[in-house]
Amino acid sequence: MTSRTIALLTACALSIGTVAGCANAAQPYTIESERAAHPNMANAIAAMQAALADMERAPDNFGGNKHAAIVDLQRAIQSAKRALYYRLQMDDAALMRLH
């Protein structure tokens, strides 16, 4: 391999690394960007929140099972939020405030 080829390959490798590094640094993650990038997950969270509101409005307690179902759904919503927003490194209190 000639020194010119080595220099060219080195320059290409460095430029690829620089471009990739710049691309990652130029795109900070936001709540909106994560929702836009993962609409199915965002829609699933919204559907679970709507289901939770329906359950809470249900007039009966269903032998105590309604409360357990509500708690389970709240946990599922929180878990789905953790998954969707994991790159933002938000704590659970901050995730709970998101709608």
pLDDT of residue 21: 47
User: Binning pLDDT at 50, 70 and 90, where does residue 12 land?
Assistant: low
**Which of residues 55 and 12 earns the better pLDDT score?**
55
User: Binning pLDDT at 50, 70 and 90, where does residue 68 land?
Assistant: very high
Q: Is the pTM of this model over 0.85?
A: no
pLDDT of residue 28: 86
The domains of the chain are located at 29-97
Query: 44-53: long-range contacts (C-beta < 8 A, 24 or more apart)?
Result: 44/80, 45/77, 45/80, 45/81, 45/84, 48/73, 48/76, 48/77, 48/80, 49/77, 49/99, 52/77
pLDDT of residue 22: 46
pLDDT of residue 39: 96
pLDDT of residue 79: 95
Asked if residue 81 has pLDDT above 70, the reply is yes
